Amino acid sequence: MTTETSVKTSPRSKRGEEVDVAIIGAGPAGAVAALHLARAGFSVAVLEQGDWPDYNAYAGARPEWELVSQKYWHPNPNVRDRQGDYPIDNSDTAVNPLMFAGVGGSATLYGAQWMHLLPSDFRVRSLDGVADDWPYTYEDLLPYQLRIEKEVGISGLAGDPAYPPRPAYPLPPTPIGSVGMRGIQGMNELGWHWWPGSNAIPPEKYGNLNPCVRRGTCLTGCPEAAKSTTDRSHWPEAVKNGVNLMTNTRAKRIETDERGRATGVLYVDRNGRERVQKAKTVILCANGVGTPRLLLLSESGRAPGGLANSSGLVGKRLMMHPFASVLASFEDPLDSWRGPFGQQIYSLEFYETDASRGFLRGSKWNCMPSGGPLGVSGVVGSKVYVAEEGRFQDLWGDALHQNVRKRFGHSLIWGIVCEDLPEESNYVTLSSDLVDSDGIPAPKIVYKVSENSRRLLEFNIDRCVESVRAAGAIEWLLSYPVRESGWHLLGTCVMGEKAESSVVDQWGRCHDVPNLYIMDGSTFPTSGAVNPTATVMAVALRNTERLIQERRSQETPL
């Protein structure tokens, strides 16, 4: 039996009033859903545990940038420890998940590297005999990808032979600088693929975005408002269209009725009071850790293992893209503090499967600047390239001067994103003892780098060293897997056709709860090896438009 959703002219909802749709999370996926639903006349309330960004707080243009960023703009919430963050139990993981709570979501601290998945990523089972195919294809998703590019403001150069033909990007590519040119030198010497970087960074004014001025602080918040995040690209218009965006509001559980339909969201407001946002439909956009956490927190007598979890797959199949990094130094100056940061060039040379390499699937490389003197000194921060067991004298004293002299302004970083295959032994669960500031159980991550991923990492590290040597590097420092690298949180509420082997259908609708949707990267059946935000937003757009089209047959609570 179905009932009709009443479509309003999107008046702003009042507290306690039932809305057509409640969305949890104001990141990239939530922004797409909220804006398009509001434009279609739905009343929408959004619960976001963080706040609007304060661009004056981004320190990129100030001398103390490196000193303050490694605390206040660190991507690991356990280090950052802001009011809006929740802690994560990382006691049983080889890679720490990274995220940021706020309007704009984790993209607040992303590098804005903008990549589509490739055709083979949607057909991993068919082509390589492992994991699963997606319910749709590259070609099905491409129209949504292209529309999202215009909404976000993507710069790049069309014509990359690693992809099927595509139309021009909305904006021309950002400069690649001396760092990118040196990266190209090595790749061309070896006859390997590279392409100018595509980024959510405009080289010229675009909507609410200012032109990039190559400040190079993209990963710690852009003080120029020149990195596209949805607090600029989507939320202002969504709010103008009537969306009630409630910040400093932490969802605690999804409420259901006696039929198992979602009825709304129990949340803790900024004053610590519990309230309920009633809704005819609920959409989860809380990322690959936050979304399964909320479903597990929403267990009930009807759903003893967690809401929408009859398959037992909520939280399972966590993929985080094991990441390797090569810091290469050169004799001549590269001005390597200069942005964008961002990818100046990328390579898909080793993206597609070649079974003779001893592993399946592949990698994407991105060439980036190396930052300021503290970052390359090796003595502070996450010490990516430093053995923890080393003596302090190895890094300080004259060694400090030598390292800064050799690396600062003279180095580039190749980041290597490796595809992670889905495995049920990698998962998100609830911590038995850690809680957030509202007393809600924190997520716990259980994750190991698989044998396939280890081989993939080692192969790519070896190839990357060949590339930087061919480019004339005088020193290279390696790190893999980088512990602080879990930016891409995918797969923990997998989409599929069957309720017994997936959590949501191809439109993001939960098999068990027909008025509960998931529209973030947790629905990805496989991860590819590219930065996922483009695909997260394109999938959210596809799902949202389906929800709008089907609104008259949408099941809702009585």
Partner 1 sequence: MSEPRIPLELSEAAMATFLALADFLIPASPPMPVFSAVGRREAVEQNLLFRPDIREAFFRGLAKASGKPPEPALEELSTGDGEAFSAIGLIAVATYYMTPSIRALIGYPGQESVTYDADAIPPYLLNGMLEPVMARGKRYRSTPR
Rounded CA-CA distance 557/510 in Å is 15
Distance CA 222, CA 61 (A): 9
Which among 287, 324, 339, 378 has a CA at the least distance from the CA of 29?
A: 287
Radius of gyration of the chain (CA): 23
According to DSSP, residue 204 is labeled S
Q: Tell me the one-letter amino acid at 254.
A: I
Residue with tokens 């985080």: 320
State which of residues 56, 398, 433, 498 lies at the interface with partner 1 (CB under 8 A): 398
| Residue of 32, 21, 25, 106 lying closest to 540 (CA atoms) | 32
Please tell me the distance from the alpha carbon of residue 283 to that of residue 291, in angstroms, as a whole number: 10
- Among residue numbers 406 through 435, which ones bind partner 1 (CB under 8 A)? 408-409
Which residue among 203, 441, 514, 521 contacts partner 1 (CB under 8 A)? 203
Rounded Cα gap, residues 503 and 337, in angstroms:
44
The identity of residue 536, as a single letter, is V
CB-based contacts of 469: which residues, under 8 Å, 6+ apart? 186, 476
The one segment of 170-178, 294-302, 324-332, 476-484 that binds partner 1 by CB under 8 A: 170-178
Please tell me the distance from the alpha carbon of residue 225 to that of residue 413, in angstroms, as a whole number: 24
* Residue from 42, 194, 427, 487 in contact with partner 1 (CB under 8 A): 194
CB of 123 to partner 1, least distance (A): 6
Is residue 478 part of the contact set for partner 1 (CB under 8 A)? no
The nearest distance, CB 396 to partner 1, in angstroms, is 4
Query: Residue 272 interacts with partner 1 (CB under 8 A)?
Result: no
Residue 373 near partner 1 by CB under 8 A:
yes
Tell me the sheet residues that pair with 92.
446
The CB-of-268 to partner 1 minimum distance in angstroms stands at: 25
Q: Which tokens is 531 given?
A: 């930065």
DSSP string, 119-170: GGGGBHHHHHSSS-B-SS-HHHHHHHHHHHHHHHT-B--S--TTS---PPPS
Q: Which of 91, 188 has the CB closer to partner 1?
A: 188
CB closer to partner 1, 247 vs 437: 437
List binders of partner 1 among 55-114 (CB under 8 A).
60-61, 63-68, 71
Give the nearer residue to partner 1 in terms of CB position, either 143 or 164. 164
- Span interacting with partner 1, options 16-24, 104-112, 208-216, 293-301, rule CB under 8 A: 208-216
333 scored as a contact of partner 1 (CB under 8 A): yes
Closer to partner 1 by Cβ: residue 258 or 388: 388
User: First and final CA of the chain: distance in angstroms?
Assistant: 11
Question: Which string of DSSP letters, residue by residue, matches 255-276?
Answer: EE-TTS-EEEEEEE-TTS-EEE
Look up residue 505 and give its two tokens. Answer: 């259908």
Q: State which of residues 2, 83, 402, 425 lies at the interface with partner 1 (CB under 8 A).
A: 402
**Range 110-149, binding partner 1 (CB under 8 A):** 118-120, 122-123, 126-127, 137-139
354 near partner 1, rule: CB under 8 A: no
Q: Which of 217, 325, 329, 523 binds partner 1 (CB under 8 A)?
A: 217
401 binds partner 1 (CB under 8 A): yes
CA distance 519 to 507: 8
In the numeric block, which tokens belong to residue 360? Answer: 């399946």
d(C-alpha 444, C-alpha 355), whole Å: 34
Q: Given the rule CB under 8 A, which of 34-42, 298-306, 336-344, 422-430 is the region that contacts partner 1?
A: 336-344
Smallest separation (angstroms) from partner 1 to the CB of 439? 23
- Residue of 11, 164, 312, 358 that binds partner 1 (CB under 8 A): 164
Q: Contact between 184 and partner 1 (CB under 8 A)?
A: yes
One of 195, 267, 365, 476 touching partner 1 (CB under 8 A): 195
Cβ 359 to partner 1 shortest distance, Å: 16
Q: Is 385 helix (H, G, I), strand (E, B) or coil?
A: coil
Taking CB under 8 A as the criterion, the residue among 16, 271, 392, 433 binding partner 1 is 392
Q: What is the dihedral of CA 554, 34, 501, 304, to 10 degrees?
A: -80
CB of 25 to partner 1, least distance (A): 27
The nearer residue to partner 1, 380 or 435, going by C-beta atoms, is 380
Single out the residue of 346, 216, 283 nearest to residue 514, CA to CA.
283
Considering the rule CB under 8 A, would residue 476 count as an interface residue with partner 1? no
What CA–CA distances, in Å, run from 558 to 257, 263, 332, 341?
A: 8, 9, 70, 50
Instruction: Rule CB under 8 A: choose which of 114, 169, 235, 351 binds partner 1.
Output: 351
Indicate the residue type of 329: S
Q: How far is the CB of 244 from partner 1 (least distance, A)?
A: 35
Nearer to partner 1, 161 or 301 (CB): 161
Q: Are the C-beta atoms of 492 and 316 separated by less than 8 Å?
A: yes
**Residue count at the site for partner 1 (CB under 8 A)?**
71
Q: How far is the CB of 126 from partner 1 (least distance, A)?
A: 5
357's tokens: 């390499």
Q: Does 380 bind partner 1 (CB under 8 A)?
A: yes
Q: Binding to partner 1 by residue 386, rule CB under 8 A?
A: no
Shortest Å, Cβ 501 to partner 1: 21
Window 227 to 266, contacts with partner 1 (CB under 8 A): none
**Closer by beta carbon to partner 1, 146 or else 499:** 146
Q: Which stretch binds partner 1 (CB under 8 A): 107-115, 213-221, 305-313, 534-542?
A: 213-221
C-alpha dist (Å) from residue 283 to 31, 220, 324, 440: 11, 28, 34, 20
